Amino acid sequence: VIMTRRIIALLTDFGTEDGYVGAMKGKILSIAPEANIVDISHEIMPFNIRQAAFCLTNCYAYFPEKTVFIVVVDPGVGTARKGLMIQTTNHFFIGPDNGVFSLIYEKEAFNSFEILVDTLPWEVAATFHGRDVFSPLGALLAADKSINRFLTATKRHTSFVRPIRKVKKKRFHIPVVHIDHFGNVILNFQRKDFSKMKTKKFGITVDDHKFGKIHNTFGEVSRGEFLLMWDSSDYLQIAKNGGSAAKDLGISTDSEVGLAL
Amino acid sequence: VIMTRRIIALLTDFGTEDGYVGAMKGKILSIAPEANIVDISHEIMPFNIRQAAFCLTNCYAYFPEKTVFIVVVDPGVGTARKGLMIQTTNHFFIGPDNGVFSLIYEKEAFNSFEILVDTLPWEVAATFHGRDVFSPLGALLAADKSINRFLTATKRHTSFVRPIRKVKKKRFHIPVVHIDHFGNVILNFQRKDFSKMKTKKFGITVDDHKFGKIHNTFGEVSRGEFLLMWDSSDYLQIAKNGGSAAKDLGISTDSEVGLAL
Amino acid sequence: VIMTRRIIALLTDFGTEDGYVGAMKGKILSIAPEANIVDISHEIMPFNIRQAAFCLTNCYAYFPEKTVFIVVVDPGVGTARKGLMIQTTNHFFIGPDNGVFSLIYEKEAFNSFEILVDTLPWEVAATFHGRDVFSPLGALLAADKSINRFLTATKRHTSFVRPIRKVKKKRFHIPVVHIDHFGNVILNFQRKDFSKMKTKKFGITVDDHKFGKIHNTFGEVSRGEFLLMWDSSDYLQIAKNGGSAAKDLGISTDSEVGLAL
């Protein structure tokens, strides 16, 4: 029989040309020689926590049980920001507590643990937790070794997701969660939220623009027109056929849009 | 004993930062946990079918027997374009029927099968066949499971390769098959075609430019001069030392050049 | 029991979109089907030997024993430049003799061997030693097959590292070894050299600029100021908070800076 090799999936903003991803891979394989390292991406825009979170949410659910995701988009490394291990029903997530796991918190039941960096019995460079904290802990997990002694349960973790606000009867404000590099505006409004409403009638308003229909493809509207679509993670997005919805509607990640039922 | 793990080689134009490649990898490993996933590239220019075809032809022959190639450069996803499984003597190729396998048809004996998407007993998103059609079928193949029930033999498949045309005795028109990102013009004329001619004398003409010799390296001509060379897949190419042959000769992928023997 | 698969780590300047990296991977897996291929990077700037050397030095030491590193940044392919196999205490390195292993020579005890390309009993394209020389030899090594018959011991190998020069008592000239893409100037002066000096007092001079302190982070100086730091491979670097030290100090890889104790 062949034992199935455990998967460690890597997601960083390091690029590859400086060798930092190589250092993480080397360290992982030194601890867990049979780990199956899978690159999700190393091309996240530097420090773009929201892009990393959306990249992760677009793929994590497809991975086998017990996959360990190591996410290193970490502008706060060297400061007091915590490190986290998040355990969901099927998966483990390891990385900084800066919001990269925001969408996991929205979609999964989970337990969260703070990494007690001071308890690690090996050398840790203050500026490279990807190599010295997250990779070795992920490798130990993948090698089926307990890391409990380096963790403590925590209830506090950072998220960039702001809740939908009810402003009056049948009137809500929906915050933006992400603007992708095409300028599509992703809203904190999931397909399952819509199902719960048990209505097909609704209106999204952005200043003077009103949307009452959810389209399936860009091609259903003319070039230059705005539209609503579900994105690949089932979040509602405002898009523009042939342009940037965010730019042309003056929307930032701090914005909210109106929802009327 | 160790059983050799089957290889699934991936070639897409997705980039990695949106998580779509990650979703394909997760799905493959959920079906075929022991598959050896190999990245060929995810940096094909968006929708550039010819670039994908040349990337594939530069590498496929070196892979072990039974390697499964999944190619997802798929501008037509969501339309009625077919999906294909191409079986050659040594390899399997899975992807859309849009020409990405054009050069495999030129170089290999093969059987071709249309994928009957409607028969797949799992959910398929209309806009992501890479994740929901090609990856699971490739994973099943790599896990040595039959996918015949999802296939039907077909004789029709799309190719961007136009044939060499005889225009009169010892006069031919050779179509362009690709212009690479250096502006090299790759012609539908392979080294084996040249061998068959059993002559060393020939002339390629592009407007006023005449070429009668095939060089081995750029360095054999002066900077700014045009030359003929065999490319790494043994196709004849027109290049320019220090410039773009396509641009400076006014050649597009619709062009033909003259061949006189 | 599972035998641990041997690691082959790849570092090239090929990009992935032309299929050349794919060809190397295919060839390796055809010879060593159980090899664990790890991508360090394929995004080294074309022909940038120093960048490749620093990328390698940032990661090689973390990899398990017997890892085979194949490095193909090879502007001289097709000329008479030698190919090398460098054996250190823990690792093997295979690639061209053009300086890509310069920093390995500085950091490790090693034996070096010239690859006798003419003795290889397979076809070798003059312009693609990455695929036809370095990959198959690396794969044979990873498959625990001897490649000694294709090697001869050599003492001569190319390095871009120039030594520290003593110019008078307690006065030295330190050469630049690399300028990274942020414009940080990396000096041929390692943390271990500094320890050996047994002094905390020192001065680095670049024209009118004097540095007497080594900082831990960019944030310790104001925006626009220059500073000294140890880089991630423990080389001393001159950096500028929010700018390019190399550009603003007029430093190139041919430069030297002054050191006074």
Mean pLDDT along residues A46-59: 95
Q: What percent of chain A has pLDDT over 90?
A: 82
Confidence of residue A126 (pLDDT cuts 50, 70, 90): confident
Residue A124 has pLDDT above 90, yes or no: yes
What pLDDT does B113 receive?
98
What's the per-residue H, E or C state across chain B? CCCCCCEEEEEECCCCCCCHHHHHHHHHHHHCCCCEEEEEECCCCCCCHHHHHHHHHCCHHHCCCCCEEEEECCCCCCCCCCEEEEEECCCEEEEECCCCCHHHHHHCCEEEEEECHHHCCCCCCCCCHHHHHHHHHHHHHHCCCCCHHHEEECCCCCCCCCCCEEEECCEEEEEEEEECCCCCEEEEEEHHHHHHHCCCCCEEEECCEEECCEECCHHHCCCCCEEEEECCCCEEEEEECCECHHHHHCCCCCCEEEEEC
What pLDDT does B257 receive?
96
Q: What is the largest CA-CA distance in chain C?
A: 64
Q: Residue A181: its chain B contacts at CB < 8 A?
A: 17
What pLDDT does A107 receive?
93
What pLDDT does B1 receive?
41
Interface test with C, best of A12, A18, A36 (most C CBs within 10 A): A18
What pLDDT does C3 receive?
61
Report pLDDT digits (tens) over B22-41. Answer: 999 999 999 999 999 999 99
What pLDDT does A1 receive?
41
What pLDDT does C181 receive?
83
Residue B158 has pLDDT above 60, yes or no: yes
How does the average pLDDT of chain C come out, rounded? 94
Taking CB atoms and an 8 Å limit, are A19 and C55 in contact across chains? yes
Report pLDDT digits (tens) over B211-260. Answer: 999 998 887 899 999 999 998 888 999 999 888 999 999 999 999 999 99
- Give me the amino acid identity at C94: I
Taking CB atoms and an 8 Å limit, are B38 and C20 in contact across chains? no
ipTM, two decimals, is 0.92
Half-sphere exposure at residue A133, Cβ-oriented, CA atoms within 13 angstroms: 27
Q: B112-149 burial by CB neighbour count: b if 16+ within 10 A, else e?
A: bbbbeeeebeeeeeeebbbbbbbbbbbbbbbeeeebee
What pLDDT does C1 receive?
41
What pLDDT does A261 receive?
85
What pLDDT does A237 receive?
95
Mean pLDDT along residues B42-69: 96
Report pLDDT digits (tens) over A187-236. Answer: 999 998 888 887 778 899 998 999 999 998 888 899 999 999 998 888 99
Numbers of helices and strands, H then E, in chain C: 7, 16
**Residue of B36, B63, B2 lying closest to A38 (CA atoms):** B36
Report pLDDT digits (tens) over A173-186. Answer: 999 999 988 899 99
Strand pairing class (C209-211; B185-190): unpaired
| CB-closest option in A17, A27, A78 to C51 | A17
Residue A100 has pLDDT above 50, yes or no: yes
How does the average pLDDT of chain B come out, rounded? 94
Stronger pLDDT, C1 or C140, i.e. the higher one:
C140
Taking CB atoms and an 8 Å limit, are C62 and A127 in contact across chains? no
Q: Residue C16: its chain B contacts at CB < 8 A?
A: 39-43
Residue C51 has pLDDT above 90, yes or no: yes
Q: Residue B29: its chain A contacts at CB < 8 A?
A: 7, 36, 38, 63-64
What pLDDT does B172 receive?
93
Task: Give the gap in angstroms from C-alpha A120 to the nearest C-alpha of chain B.
Answer: 30
Q: Work out the number of other CB atoms within 10 angstroms of the CB of residue C220.
A: 12
Answer yes or no: are the C-beta atoms of C203 and C213 closer than 8 Å: no
| CB-closest option in A2, A59, A64 to B22 | A59
Answer yes or no: are the C-beta atoms of B164 and B189 closer than 8 Å: yes
Q: Residue B63: its chain C contacts at CB < 8 A?
A: 25-26, 29-30
What pLDDT does A3 receive?
61
Interface test with C, best of A3, A4, A16, A17 (most C CBs within 10 A): A17
Q: What percent of chain A has pLDDT over 70?
A: 99
Confidence of residue C33 (pLDDT cuts 50, 70, 90): very high
| CB-closest option in C2, C43, C45 to A16 | C43
Taking CB atoms and an 8 Å limit, are A59 and B2 in contact across chains? no
Which tokens belong to B212? 């009668």
Which tokens belong to B61? 């022959």
- Neighbours of C, requiring at least 3 CB pairs below 8 Å, are A, B
How does the average pLDDT of chain A come out, rounded? 94
Mean pLDDT along residues A133-151: 97
Residue in B with minimal Cα distance to C4:
B2
Residue B2 has pLDDT above 60, yes or no: no
Confidence of residue C197 (pLDDT cuts 50, 70, 90): confident
Mean pLDDT along residues A96-114: 97
Which tokens belong to C130? 């990455």
Q: How far apart are CA B195 and CA B199, in angstroms?
A: 8
Mean pLDDT along residues A140-152: 97
Of the ranges B2-16, B36-50, B133-147, C43-57, which one carries the lowest mean pLDDT score?
Answer: B2-16
Residue B199 has pLDDT above 90, yes or no: no
What pLDDT does B216 receive?
86
What pLDDT does B3 receive?
60
Residue C2 has pLDDT above 80, yes or no: no
What's the per-residue H, E or C state across chain A? CCCCCCEEEEEECCCCCCCHHHHHHHHHHHHCCCCEEEEEECCCCCCCHHHHHHHHHCCHHHCCCCCEEEEECCCCCCCCCCEEEEEECCCEEEEECCCCCHHHHHHCCEEEEEECHHHCCCCCCCCCHHHHHHHHHHHHHHCCCCCHHHEEECCCCCCCCCCCEEEECCEEEEEEEEECCCCCEEEEEEHHHHHHHCCCCCEEEECCEEECCEECCHHHCCCCCEEEEECCCCEEEEEECCECHHHHHCCCCCCEEEEEC
Say whether pTM exceeds 0.90.
Answer: yes
Q: How far apart are CA B43 and CA A156, in angstroms?
A: 38
